[in-house]
Amino acid sequence: LAGLAALPATMTIAQQTAAPEEVSLIVKADPPGPVINRNIYGHFAEHLGRCIYEGIWVGEDSPIPNTRGIRNDVVAALKKLNLPVLRWPGGCFADEYHWKNGIGPRSQRPSMINTHWGGVVENNHFGTHEFMDLCEMLGAEPYVCGNVGSGSPEEMMEWVEYLTSDADSPLANLRRKNGRDKPWALHYFGVGNESWGCGGNMRPEFYADNYRRYNTFVKNYPGNRIYRIACGANSEDYNWTEVLMNLAGRQINGLSLHYYTVPSGNWRNKGSATRFTEEEWHATLRRTLRMEEIIAKHSAIMDKTDPQKRIGLVVDEWGIWHDVEPGTNPGFLYQQNTLRDALAAALNFHIFHQHADRVVMANIAQTINVLQAMVLTDKGKMILTPTYHVFEMYKVHQGATRLPLELTTPDYVRGDQRIPLVSASASRDAGGRVHLSLVNTDPGRTAAVSCELRGFAPARVTGRILTAGAMNAHNTFEAPATVQPQPFTGAALDAGRLKVALPA
Ligand code: AHR
C-alpha cells in the first residue's frame, strides 16, 4: 500500500488536544470499480487576465526564460502534474474568438478587444500554433472550444480542417505555410461554451438545434476522430440536460457541466480567498460537496436516454471562485489559494472518482493566475499553490481502477450545518499498488481511521500529507513553501489493518 495522501487543516495547535474521532473504513480490492479517466485531472486556460499572457506566453524576446515564447518554469511545473488535457481558448472568450486572427506572422495579426475580461486589447500573439506547441511541450491532449455564439459553421469547419487535415487543400496548405507540415491530432472539440449565458444566451431547444447544425461541419479527417463535446448545464439546470439529451443526444459524445464553489453562495460578494472564518471554511466545503448531488442528478437524467453511459459528463469548469485580490483588475479574476482550496480540490476529486462511470473529464478553472490556479506568477517569479500540490499528490489516481469503499465517519458540524468529518477515495494502479486519499475537513479535530483492507494483503504503507498551521495558510512570492507536501508518518499496518492518525 503506497501513496496514502492526507489533507487535513489545523486552525490552532491548541485545538488538537481533544480525543481523536473514530472513523472506520473498508477498502475493497475485489470487486474493482471503473477506471478513473486520467482526463479528470484536466485543465483549462483561457485568454483571461494573466493566464495566457504572462502566465504562459511571454514572447520569444522576453528576458523570462522561454521556449518559442512559452515560459520554461511554468511548463516544468505543469509537467510534474502529468497534465492530461488542456481546454482552450475559453470560456466566454471562445465565443468571441476568431481563430484566423491568431495564425501567421505575429506582427501582422489583428488585435481585438477582450470584452468579457477587463476590456483589454488582445493581440492574438498566442493562437492555434502556440497552443498546440504548448500541448506538445506538456504532453497534454488539446481540447479546443469552438465559437458558436459569434462565429459561423464555416469558421468552425475551417478551423478543424486547418488543424487536422493532411490533404492538399487550401487550409491545410495555409497551415503548412505557417510552419506546421503535418496535421495535429485533435480529439476533444467543444461546440460552444456556456451557450445559455456568455456564449449566446440561448434556450436549450435553440442551442440543441445549433449544436446539431455546427457539429455537422466538425469533420473527421483521415486519421483523426473527434470527440464532440456539447455545451452542458450551469450547475442545477437539469432542464438543460434533459432537453439536450432528448434533442441532440445522438450527435453528442460528451456533455459539459459547469459548477463553481462560491464560498458565500452570493456571486456579488463571494468572499476573500485568504481572510475567512471557520463558518466560511465550513460553508465552502459544504458548497463544494454539492458537486456530488449535481453530478448524480445530471447523470440520472442522462441515464434515461443513455443507460449504457455512452455519453460522458465533462465537468470542464470547476473550482472555487473568490473575490479578486484587493487592488487587482476585477476582470482578471486573480485570487490567492489556501489550504481551504486544497481541501476543496481533493473533495471534488473524490466525487469525480465516485462517478468515474459517467465523468470522463474535468478541467479546473484555471491553470495559471486565474481563479483556483495551480501556479501564480509575478513577472519572472513563479509559485505553486496548495491546489497544485493536490493535483501532484493525486496524480497516482490517473487511469487507476477505483476501489469501492465503506466509510463510517462522524460529521463536522457548524451551527445547523454538517458535512462528513472524513472523506476518502481509493484506487489500484497498473502496478498493483493501492492509493488511498483521505481528507479531514475539520480544522479542530483529529481522526483515528481504522481501515480494513479487504481482498489484498499490503506489504507496507507510505504516505504524504499536506497541511499547515492555519486554515488560510498559503504560499506567497516571499514565502513560497508554507504549504507543501511532507512525509506522513501517521499511517501504520497493524494485524492486517491500516491505522491512520489523521491530524486536524
Ligand atoms: O472561468 C471563468 C469563466 O467562467 C469562463 O470564461 C466561463 O465559461 C465561466 O462563466
Q: What is the pLDDT of residues 37-96, one digit of tens each?
A: 999 999 999 999 999 999 999 999 999 999 999 999 999 999 999 999 999 999 999 999
Checking if the pLDDT of 279 tops 70, the result is yes
CB neighbourhood size of 59 (10 A):
16
Does the C-beta of 54 come closer than 6 Å to ligand 1?
no
Q: What is the pLDDT of residues 130-171, one digit of tens each?
A: 999 999 999 999 999 999 999 999 999 999 999 999 999 999
Q: What is the pLDDT of residues 281-312, one digit of tens each?
A: 999 999 999 999 999 999 999 999 999 999 99
Does the C-beta of 347 come closer than 6 Å to ligand 1?
no
What pLDDT is stored for residue 32 in this prediction? 76
Residues 200/103, Cβ–Cβ less than 8 Å: no
Q: Whose CA is nearest to atom 6 of ligand 1?
A: 91
**Which positions are catalytic?**
194, 317
Alpha-carbon distance of 279 to 443, in angstroms, equals 11
Its pTM stands at: 0.96
Q: Which long-range contacts (CB under 8 A, 24 or more apart) does 71-75 make?
A: 71/377, 71/382, 73/382, 74/368, 74/375, 74/377, 74/382, 75/134, 75/137, 75/138
Q: Whose CA is nearest to atom 2 of ligand 1?
A: 91
Task: Record the cell numbers describing residue 223, joined without a space.
Answer: 486519421
Q: What is the pLDDT of residues 480-496, one digit of tens each?
A: 999 999 999 999 999 88
Average pLDDT over residues 396-410: 97
Band (pLDDT 50/70/90 cuts) for residue 469 is very high
Task: Record the cell numbers describing residue 297, joined without a space.
Answer: 442528478
Residues 436/453, Cβ–Cβ less than 8 Å: no
What pLDDT is stored for residue 30 in this prediction? 79
Q: Whose CA is nearest to atom 1 of ligand 1?
A: 365
